Structure 1
């Protein structure tokens, strides 16, 4: 009788732990997906020019295939899952605080463009552009630049050469001089 009781308690404990782990994973994955796309990121008023310029860019769907990168595809590191989660949490806290502060002090986004390497990660670029080093259909200048990037002693980042990646005419959008986007809201 005692063995049966422990067997039932042990089985119940294992099932409970499995259920908690599964539930935790589902909740975490749902939260990660819900806070990773254009719809979520565009809910902040300070992101309006960034979303408008993204909508006009090839990464925002203006390409023959209509493919779109989510905001986190470029703006979070993809080197390890742990670093991704930590940086997502830190970025979320920083963005939330930025929203509060922007009610009083509007950020100087144009000046912040010089710190673009703080908001873009090469590991993110290389997730989609994994075969870039061997890409056959590059111009001579692009091939040279990419060979330089992949050289062992390289100190460049993707954003050093691709300053406006992901956001077409971002400077004009930030200055309020851009043409309105033709992409429909999701």
Structure 2
């Protein structure tokens, strides 16, 4: 066999294997990013339940449903997305299987929302809120001007700094209190 043909066949086979691996990886990433998958872990049930009641979870007139990963993973680059998805996935499997998730103070963890929600996800759908040529609501443009100014000054606040209950229908605290009560009352 001619050396050129051998290299050509090798490149072709490598391309097929690479394409196949990419497609399988993309399919796995897609199947492991929605509320059904994320809510399959006992500790994530309250989050998945309240998400499904939210506008972003499909409770809207358009039938739009965001995926958990649309908000909870960075959307800046495929590499960053996959790296964070891998890190979070390994951590979540470890925590769910080797720790007592009932001891996690989920209500207190809500105060760390800036660590778990990425603006790149918000802006992938809501970029028009920052652009006066495409914003369809002047009041919205006015209220988001502070956010845009902070971005320009490289001292950004995050979307969830103001939109505290976004993604969970404002009911996450109540849902968490069903299984992890903030307050317990002792009867005398």
Q: Same fold (TM over 0.5)?
A: yes
State the distance in 1 between where 2:6 and 2:58 align.
54
1:124-163 residue pairs with structure 2 within 5 A? 124-133=121-130, 134=132, 135-137=135-137, 140=139, 142-151=140-149, 152-153=152-153, 154-163=155-164
Partner of 2:184 in structure 1? none
SS of corresponding position for 2:144: helix
Q: Which residue of 2 aligns with 1:184?
A: none
Shift of 1:42: 1.3
Corresponding residue of 1:55: 52
User: What pairs with 1:97-108 in structure 2 (closer than 5 Å)?
Assistant: 97-103=94-100, 105-108=102-105
Q: Give structure 2 stretches of 5+ with no counterpart.
A: 180-188
- Aligned-pair CA distance for 1:137: 2.1
TM-score, length of structure 1 as denominator length: 0.86
Number of aligned residue pairs: 172
Structure 1: unaligned runs, 5 residues or longer: 178-186
Q: 2:65 aligns with which of 59, 63, 68?
A: 68
Q: Structure with the greater relative contact order (CA < 8 A, sep ≥ 6): 1 or 2? A: 1
CA contact (8 A) 1:120 1:159 kept: yes
Instruction: Give the C-alpha shift of residue 22 in structure 1.
Output: 1.1
Question: 1:8-50: CA deviations, max 9, x gaps?
Answer: 3122212111111111111111111111112211111101100
Structure 1 position 7, deviation (Å): 2.9
Runs of 4+ in 1 over 4 A off after TM superposition: none
What is the Cα-based RMSD across aligned positions, in Å?
1.7
User: Normalized per residue, which structure has more helix?
Assistant: 2
